[in-house]
Chains A and B, each alone.
Chain A
Amino acid sequence: MVSRNAGKLRQHLLIVLLLLFYYSAFTTDVYADDFPMISKQRRIELHNLLIQDCGSCHGMTMKGGLGPALTPEVLKNKSRQMIEVAILQGRPGTPMPPWNILLSKDEVRWLVDTLYSGITP
């Protein structure tokens, strides 16, 4: 009797968990990724920053200008960490400024993620 109840309880729990998991997929932000701390509004701002302001030197399609190209093809052989450091701290001896005054580490990671997957203007 006891073991049967326990089995039922476990079944219930499983269903509840499954339901929770199922609902969570819908109730959390549509961006169920590594960046829950970055709001939808902020993502729009960052995307605009990437294309418009970074694009001033790297080209709006990231094919390069005064700054180097940052397309997925170019980036695939480079370390993510190096790119993150370049954005956060700038690159001495080049016009690339340090962005750590204006952007958080998470925001920079999000930008780098976006660059690696390729931007769509």
Chain B
Amino acid sequence: MNILFKSILLVCLFNLLAACVSLRGTGDLGVVIERATGSVQIVETTNATILKRVENLGDLSHASIVYSRDQRYAYVFGRDGGLSKIDILKGNIDHRIIQSGNSIGGAISQDGKLVAVSNYKPGGVKVFDSNTLDLVADIPAVYGDGKQLSKVVGLVDAPGQRFVFSLYDAGEIWLADLSQGKTEITRFKNIGRQPYDGLITPDGRYYIAGLFGEDGLAVLDLWHPEKGVNRILDDYGRGSKKMPVYKMPHLEGWAMTEDYAFLPAVGRNEVLVVNRRNWKQLASISVHGQPVFVMARPDGRQVWVNFAYPRNDTVQVIDTEQLQITKTLKPGKAVLHMEFTPRGEHVWVSARDEGKVTVYDTDSFNAIATLPMTKPSGIFFTSRAHRIGL
């Protein structure tokens, strides 16, 4: 009896020890923003479960995340200027600073050593050491007579240790080169009125800014910045009718397959199909509402679309070969974001006002898991760590 007891105790102790030193990777982890409570949920995608909640992250009403290249740390950019570095293995805040009064997004450099944040107030970009969050560079977005500061949007990383971003109030695109240990800025003026968001193509070559104040898109070829900013898709935008837009489409969600780019139309219930070689529109697909995110499954065979208020309870799937809607799903009220698992067998869909994230099998369209969360919004998996512009 005594021996049995002792051996049980020993096994227990061993288990405890094993639990303490058990190792795991982070390649199947992710973070979901709970926008209303200033918290995030650390999740894992292999079994589709919640691991841990992290709180006290401030105003997360338009929060986004980038990952360190070792995929251990998530940098959370909050609306209130908060920059938080979360250790997703330990499930706690490693470091947190308030770096401005009002910010909108961020990016991590090619080498992973710099984290940049774009700010509304005071308008500009601040660059931090990704390890310590010490300030490395401060780039005020001055324009006009030099006294005004512009809100900065569409900040992305580009190859060559560069960051690219747009000045909403000034109508400019700036290219910041930090490769030489100092900050060298190239300014592109008069690129169009009110750029509201930007994206970089997955190969890191083209930076594209969407314009709120006029139709068309501004494009900067980063292989040839000396050629300046050009215009593509002159009809892209709200057109002459100026339909009301209740939620501006996100450009980061632009789906690119080998031949086509799928773009959310602005103010119209359409997804536009564009030839990637010459940027000419090939087709438009009628969809359920005004599209917000138009995202390609990693293999490019499907494009998933969510919609603006008030038609935001639905997600539609477009077959990229037939250019037709093949599935309409109703994940619930206020679908805000979608994220594919690294190779696309599942997609996670957040429904803010339902308080849940639904995980769908992208082949059968069956819901394979439902995870309760508080007002979930953005979903970010660690596979983003190794993709340019994310």
Q: What is A's interface to B at a CB cutoff of 8 Å?
A: 48-49, 51-53, 55-56, 59-61, 63-66, 90, 93, 95, 97-98, 101-102, 121
* With known contacts A65-B120, A66-B168, A98-B244, A60–B61 Cβ distance under 8 A: yes
User: Which of B35, B104, B247, B353 contacts A65, CB < 8 Å?
Assistant: B104
Inter-subunit contact A102/B353 (CB<8 Å) = no
Q: Knowing A59-B102, A61-B59, A65-B104 are in contact, say whether A52-B353 is a contact too (CB < 8 A).
A: yes
The docked-state distance in angstroms from the alpha carbon of A53 to that of B310 is: 10
- Bound Cα distance A61, B102 (Å): 12
* Distance between Cα atoms of A121 and B353 in the complex (Å): 14
Total A-B residue pairs with C-beta atoms closer than 8 Å?
61
Question: What is B's interface to A at a CB cutoff of 8 Å?
Answer: 35-36, 59, 61-62, 79-80, 102, 104, 120-121, 151, 153, 168, 196, 212-213, 244-248, 309-310, 334, 352-353, 375
B79: contacting residue among A60, A90, A93, CB under 8 A = A60
Query: Does B248 lie within 8 Å of A65, measured CB to CB?
Result: no
Distance A101 CA – B121 CA, assembled complex (angstroms): 32
Tell me the nearest residue of chain B to A121, going by C-beta: B36
Residues of A within 8 A of B375 (CB): 52
CB distance from A17 to the nearest CB of B (A): 45
Q: Which A residue's beta carbon lies closest to that of B168?
A: A66
Main secondary structure of the interface of A (DSSP, over half): loop
Q: List, sorted by A's number, 25 A–B pairs whose CB atoms are closer than 8 Å.
A: A49-B309, A52-B35, A55-B61, A56-B62, A56-B247, A59-B61, A59-B79, A59-B80, A60-B61, A60-B79, A61-B59, A63-B80, A65-B61, A65-B79, A65-B104, A65-B120, A66-B104, A66-B151, A93-B213, A95-B245, A95-B248, A97-B246, A98-B244, A102-B246, A121-B36
Chain B residues with CB under 8 A of A55:
61
A102 B310 Cβ-Cβ under 8 A: yes
Question: What 16 additional pairs, Cβ within 8 angstroms, besides A59-B102, A60-B61, A101-B244?
Answer: A52-B36, A52-B352, A52-B353, A59-B61, A59-B79, A60-B59, A61-B59, A64-B121, A65-B61, A65-B62, A66-B120, A66-B196, A93-B213, A95-B245, A95-B248, A102-B246
Cβ contacts under 8 Å, B151 to chain A: 66
Give every chain B residue within 8 A of A60 (Cβ-Cβ): 35-36, 59, 61, 79
What 6 A-B pairs are tightest by C-beta distance, nearest first? Answer: A97-B244, A60-B61, A55-B61, A98-B244, A97-B246, A53-B309
Give Cα distance in the complex from A97 to B212, angstroms.
12
The CA-CA distance from A89 to B104 in the complex, in Å, is 26
Q: Which residue of B lies closest to A49 (CB)?
A: B309
What residues of A have a CB within 8 angstroms of the CB of B196 in the complex? 66, 95
Pairwise interchain contact A95-B120, C-beta atoms closer than 8 A: no
A59 contacts across to B, CB distance below 8 A: 59, 61, 79-80, 102
